[in-house]
Structure 1
Amino acid sequence: MQPFRLIVVILFYLNALPVMAQSGPETIVKDIYDTYSGPGQIGLWPSDPGPRAMFSARLRPLLEKDYERAETDGIGLLDFDIFVDGQDFDLSDVEIGRAAVSGDRATVEARFRNFGEPKRIVYGFVREDGAWKIDEVSSPDGEYPWALSELLSR
């Protein structure tokens, strides 16, 4: 990771994580897409140490392993940005759906256009220690559907 990008990500999360940890699923997804909007925004990389805190106890070790793999080999299993379902981003028409909550689980859909192409990302949440954590990210549509847990388990 480039040093400047790492500094920006760390500063964002030092300010945002306390709020995001207490936020509901919709707010967490909105906060993710806020990092992609506006000039100079660089988005997030889920396996980086700061963003990793948003994820469940089930996914954090997989993300940490992928981060270590990328640091050693230059590339991890994640070779695209899961939040935009692509290598690069030019997002428009971002819509965050209402959370469907069932006990300690919730689902939120994000719909947007990336370089004009329609995308749908589904976020699965679990409540851990009183806070909502991302337990799955998936793109069920298109030619190559995927789920984060499956990508990281290869």
Structure 2
Amino acid sequence: MTRRRLLRAFAAALAGAALATAWPAGPARAAGKAPPPAPAGASPEAVVRNLYDRYAAGAFDYMTDRRLAARTFTAATAGLLARAFAKSKKLDEPGIDYEPLIDGQDGEVKGLTVATTAATTDKATVTATFKSFDETLTVTFEFRREKGVWRVEDIRGREGTSLRGVAKAFLGE
């Protein structure tokens, strides 16, 4: 190999390594580092903490992956999300154009606290409070026990935004 070819190969390898290092970690790259989904017997608080742990690791698939959505949400909510994402794909436009965990499109989660604010034998309400930039946010998770397992029925943000409401509005339901 000539010196010129060797230098070109080295420069190409160096550029590729720099690109791989500088490229932002997206869901597919970070998913390998994300913790597994919460186990079936997890408490509502544990489910919420797991969702934020996965979010922090870049795993944003809890709504779009059908198997994961079925483990996370009630059957009714998982079905609603599946219909919304199918329509979104068909129309090539976002139907759910925000991240319910941060109640917005952009944000950060610092100082997360998770607390159960109400609970019965088959329903629970859990809040996640955190700092996003300079604002303190509270996201409310409504849970329902379904087949003996706690599942998210809805996620509500400030000003009354509701994941189910957004999906229903997009679907015209």
Contact 2:113 2:130 in 1 (8 A): yes
Shift of 1:106: 0.6
Question: Which residue identity does 1:103 align to in structure 2?
Answer: T
Deviation at 1:46, TM superposition (A): 4.3
1:5 equivalent in alignment to 2:22: no
Q: Residue in 1 aligned with 2:168?
A: 153
What are structure 2's unaligned runs of at least 5 residues? 1-25
Structure 2 counterpart SS, 1:21:
coil
Identical aligned pairs, as a percentage?
A: 23
Deviation at residue 92 of structure 1 after TM alignment: 0.8
The structural deviation recorded for 1:6 is 4.5
Work out whether 1:34 is the aligned partner of 2:56: no
3-state secondary structure, aligned to 1:35: helix
1:57 counterpart letter in structure 2: A
Return the letter of the residue paired with 1:66.
A
Check the 8 A contact 2:85/2:95 in 1, yes or no: no
Cross-structure match for 1:102: 120
Matches within 5 A, 1:4-153: 5-6=27-28, 8-9=30-31, 16-17=36-37, 19-37=38-56, 41-49=57-65, 50-53=67-70, 54-98=72-116, 100-139=118-157, 141-142=158-159, 145-153=160-168
Bigger-Rg structure (1/2): 2
* Count of aligned pairs between the two proteins: 142
Considering fraction of residues, name the structure with more strand: 1
- TM-score, normalised via structure 1 length: 0.80
Runs ≥4 residues deviating over 6 A: none
- Structure 1 residues 29-78: Cα deviation after superposition (integer angstroms, max 9, x where no partner): 000111233xxx22425431144120001211110012212322333321
User: What's the CA shift for 1:116?
Assistant: 2.2
Q: Measured at CA, do residues 23 and 134 of structure 1 come closer, stay the same or move farther in structure 2, by a change above 3 Å? A: same
